Amino acid sequence: MSPTAAPAVVVLATRNSGKIHELSALLAPLGVAVRGLADHPEIGEIEETGATFEENALLKARAVAAATGLVAVADDSGLEVDALGGAPGVYSARYADPGATDARNNAKLLAALAGVPDERRGCRFVSVIAAAAPGALGGAETALRGTWEGRVAHDLRGGNGFGYDPLFIDRESPGSRRAAEMSREEKNAVSHRGKALRALLAVWPDFVAKLGA
């Protein structure tokens, strides 16, 4: 079955406008209408209780699929910093505090790495993208991972992106560019989320074939 046989509507299990823009662009090849949780105000906050990115992504996708009766796609992503033992990891969005802003999270990360030299500031963005169908469509699910290697900068730079993008130096980028200095197209070509979603697209025909089974 080809990707054109995909469901007419996919719900993205997020209210993060940055993620919605990125994922919508990356899902465009599927030819489906994309909704976010803003289109489903009846769905409350989904508590991320998993210990891994995979657990959290599947937890969110399953919850939204069950609530909407539609295929749901969820991303759980974060930044792993080597010098911090992999932190903030799955707690990236709430690293500074439960209601943390990007600014507070970035400030805490800079403080935690104060005095740490460049050679010990290695990091990676991790994204796991999960798709889940509601029980009425067979309950199929899958989860794929993508990573983006980099280094944590000593200061903020760039006005694009969100989260830790102003601090993330792409290891392969000429001139040590930050993720926040890249266009959306440039970022999607190399990012953790782009890699995870391309992996999802590769298995999408098999996923769709299971719908209704």
What are the residue numbers of the active site? Answer: 76
Pairing of strands 9-12, 122-132: unpaired
d(CA 142, CA 50): 16
Single out the residue of 102, 129, 166 nearest to residue 23, CA to CA. Answer: 129
Coil, helix or strand at residue 83: helix
Strand 33-35: give its sheet, edge to edge: 33-35, 9-12, 71-81, 122-132, 141-152, 168-170
d(CA 146, CA 190): 10
CB 75 within 8 A of CB 46: no
d(CA 188, CA 18): 12
